[in-house]
Amino acid sequence: MTTTSAHIDTFARDHLPPPEQQPQFIFDLPALQFPERLNCATELLDRHVAEGHGDRVCIRAPGGLTWTYADLREKANRIANVLVHDMGLVPGNRVLLRAPNNPMLAACWFAVMKAGGIAVATMPLLRAKELKAIIEIGQVTHALCDAALADEMHHAAMESPQLRQLRHFDYEGPDSLEAAMERASPYFDNVDTAADDTCILGFTSGTTGVPKATMHFHRDVMAICHCWPPHMLKATADDVFIGSPPLAFTFGLGGLLLFPMHVGASTVLLEKAGPPQLLDGIKEFHATVLFTAPTSYRTLAARGVELRRTPLRKCVSAGEALPASTRQLWKEATGIELIDGIGATEMLHIFISHDEGNARPGATGKPVPGYRARVIDDEGREVPPGTVGKLAVQGPTGCRYLADERQKSYVKNGWNVTGDAYVMDTDGYFFYQARTDDMIISAGYNIAAPEVEEALMQHPAVAECAVVGVPDAERGQIVKAFVVLRPGQAGDAAMVKTLQDFVKATVAPYKYPRAVEFIDKLPRTQTGKLQRFRLTQPAEGAA
Ligand code: 3UK
């Protein structure tokens, strides 16, 4: 596609991976025939107002705040004017956003889209050092930051000469973003961006290594709204969305902002969204659609009686594998069949999933309409059903790392290779096995760490666990389990034996953990993913 970019600052276009390293994109649904000019803010926000739905509730938050679509549009327009007229933004500039999930963060995100900028949303818990790395990699020129998170931002800004402009919101003061918004016009003509102008730099949450920036276009934002939600989630304008993933994580951006807005529904943004806040939020706002991670479903399942009295009807799990036992636990507690889906920052959102009617225990599902998937061997050949291999996917979205050598390992022969080991059955269902680096090879056997974890988790004494391969002279590697016990359980030799016997009775005995260590807490990323590598090399960088 050769379209005319609206970007005056050509940094993003200049750093796209070369064409031969890009994945093959496919657009074989009618809804994916995008025009050359496309601004996702026009589609997701302004359209509702233009169609006469400006007074529908768009965003709610604890403390009584309610914004309609018209309110959000006016805020975003004012911020876009501040960005352009006060802060000197030109299309293509990168704008760092830093806030917990709240309405102002949503307004800032849409303001960046409207102004033709590129949003670089960052995880609230990041420290100055990590923010500085993101500013450097993304050559970030502007930043909008929640005053509550100003400290680390300030330190990062001091050491980042490329960052030209920084404004804070949610505080009283003449130099606040809100004060500037008051002075700005409530009208803004969205920049006429090309469908293939970059609008998001999504940093990988990465369970290991140096962060990578993935690049996504305006058309990618619309593509994810047209693929998974209408076919798997099937939400309507009357739904109320709620959930835990940060908007800086594309799981949260889609689930808690883009998808509700695409169908004209409303979303509840919670700054704190642990299980207790989710439960309160579901009750207070009568939420009907929940997005969170497997661990959070396990904790919330204990509150099934209360949840059954709410209108909650659709529950989505992503970010890490959903154990069959968690699916069952949630169904028994709430009566709701979980919708599992695998997504990735590189793919922007979910590409294998199922709806409630087609859930199969232990399976992630089938390729989402618009995507295709296969299981391949090390040479890139498709393997037969029932064989473990690497997951490869193609669709309207795909991996484009900003100037990063690792593009060549994620994209092979036009396929996105996600780093996950999968098996497809003869019905075309995809079963997650492990991250390719979490396959343990012990005495010649392939053992998937999550399978052993799932077996352990079914024991009533186990609260959480993580399984890794540790070096062993005789067997190459042995299976080692790190176990967090439920309160009141003793981590002694008898418990080790009990758990080992329990695993042997649940899965093939050669998979049992030959070593078991009891710990208080598992290491997790800010997106809730287990960091197994930190259990094999605990000394380095342990927080
Ligand atoms: C793992 C899963 C099994 C898998 C994400 C939904 O997680 C997201 O993006 P990340 O870049 O991580 C991608 C990796 O996470 N994973 C995610 N979901 C599942 N494994 N079952 C699942 N349901 O290893 C994948 O390669 O942090 C999830 C939407 C948007 C996202 N960015």
pLDDT digits 0-9 by tens, 226-275? 999 999 999 999 999 999 999 999 999 999 999 999 999 999 999 999 99
Residue 538 has pLDDT above 80, yes or no: no
- Position 540 confidence tier, pLDDT thresholds 50, 70, 90: very low
CA dist 118 to 85, 93, 216, Å?
17, 6, 9
Residue range 34-70, pLDDT digits in tens: 999 999 999 999 999 999 999 999 999 999 999 999 9
Residue range 380-396, pLDDT digits in tens: 999 999 999 999 999 99
Tell the residue nearest (CA) to atom 21 of ligand 1. Answer: 321
Give the atom of ligand 1 at the shortest distance from the alpha carbon of 435. Answer: 24
Distance 338 CA to ligand 1 centre (A): 16
Distance 344 CA to ligand 1 centre (A): 5
Residue 543 has pLDDT above 80, yes or no: no
Mean pLDDT of the 429-447 span = 90
Tell the residue nearest (CA) to atom 6 of ligand 1. Answer: 343
Residue 541 has pLDDT above 60, yes or no: no
Is the sign of the CA dihedral 266, 270, 274, 276 positive or negative?
A: negative
- The tally of CA atoms less than 13 A away on the side-chain side of residue 447 is 31
Residue 446 has pLDDT above 90, yes or no: no
Give the predicted TM-score (pTM) of the model: 0.93
Percentage of the chain beyond pLDDT 70 is: 97
Mean of all residue pLDDT scores within the chain: 95
Pocket test for ligand 1, best of 292, 345, 422 (most atoms within 8 A of CB): 345
Mean pLDDT of the 2-11 span = 89
Tell the residue nearest (CA) to atom 17 of ligand 1. Answer: 319
Distance 320 CA to ligand 1 centre (A): 6
H/E segment holding residue 343: strand 339-343
Helices H / strands E in the chain, number of each = 19, 25
- Position 508 confidence tier, pLDDT thresholds 50, 70, 90: confident
Give the atom of ligand 1 at the shortest distance from the alpha carbon of 432. Answer: 3
Residue 207 has pLDDT above 60, yes or no: no
Task: Enter the tokens of residue 510.
Answer: 């050669």
At residue 209, the pLDDT reads 65
At residue 203, the pLDDT reads 95
- Position 542 confidence tier, pLDDT thresholds 50, 70, 90: very low
| DSSP-assigned states of every residue in 357-417 | GG--TT--BEEPTT-EEEEE-TTSPBPPTT--EEEEEEBSS---BTT-TTHHHHEETTEEE
Residue range 141-177, pLDDT digits in tens: 999 999 999 999 999 999 999 999 999 999 999 999 9
Residue 539 has pLDDT above 60, yes or no: no
Residue 469 has pLDDT above 90, yes or no: yes
* Phi (first) and psi of residue 435, to 5 degrees: -65, 145
**What residue spans of 21-102 are helical by DSSP H?**
40-41, 47-50, 69-81
Q: How far apart are CA 303 and CA 310, in angstroms?
A: 11
Pocket test for ligand 1, best of 322, 342, 437 (most atoms within 8 A of CB): 342
Q: How far apart are CA 453 and CA 507, in angstroms?
A: 11
Distance 89 CA to ligand 1 centre (A): 33
Angle, vertex CA 243, rays to CA 345 and CA 455, nearest 5: 75
Tell the residue nearest (CA) to atom 12 of ligand 1. Answer: 344
Say which amino acid occupies 401. Answer: Y
Tell the residue nearest (CA) to atom 7 of ligand 1. Answer: 319
Residue 35: how many CB atoms within 10 A of its CB?
Answer: 9
Residue range 84-105, pLDDT digits in tens: 999 999 999 999 999 999 999 9
Distance 321 CA to ligand 1 centre (A): 8
Distance 395 CA to ligand 1 centre (A): 16
Tell the residue nearest (CA) to atom 9 of ligand 1. Answer: 344
Q: How far apart are CA 179 and CA 154, in angstroms?
A: 20
Domain spans of the chain?
Answer: 36-56+69-218, 443-535
Is the sign of the CA dihedral 413, 416, 420, 424 positive or negative?
A: negative
- Position 206 confidence tier, pLDDT thresholds 50, 70, 90: low
Ligand 1, residues at Cβ distance < 6 Å: 204-205, 250-251, 318-322, 340-345, 349-350, 364, 418-420, 432, 435, 527
Q: How far apart are CA 246 and CA 239, in angstroms?
A: 20
Q: Check: CB of residue 235 under 8 Å from CB of residue 289.
A: yes
CA dist 97 to 94, 105, 329, 343, 427, Å?
10, 7, 37, 22, 43
Residue 297 has pLDDT above 60, yes or no: yes
Distance 342 CA to ligand 1 centre (A): 5
Distance 318 CA to ligand 1 centre (A): 6
Mean pLDDT of the 201-228 span = 90
Kindly state which CATH superfamily the domain 443-535 is placed in.
ANL, C-terminal domain (3.30.300.30)
Distance 529 CA to ligand 1 centre (A): 9
Q: Check: CB of residue 486 under 8 Å from CB of residue 464.
A: no
- Position 285 confidence tier, pLDDT thresholds 50, 70, 90: very high
Task: Find, among 219, 12, 223, the residue nearest to 118 by Cα.
Answer: 12
On whether the 36-56+69-218 domain is CATH 3.30.428.10, my answer is no
At residue 208, the pLDDT reads 60
- Position 205 confidence tier, pLDDT thresholds 50, 70, 90: low
Residue 543: how many CB atoms within 10 A of its CB?
Answer: 6
Residue 185 has pLDDT above 90, yes or no: yes
At residue 405, the pLDDT reads 93
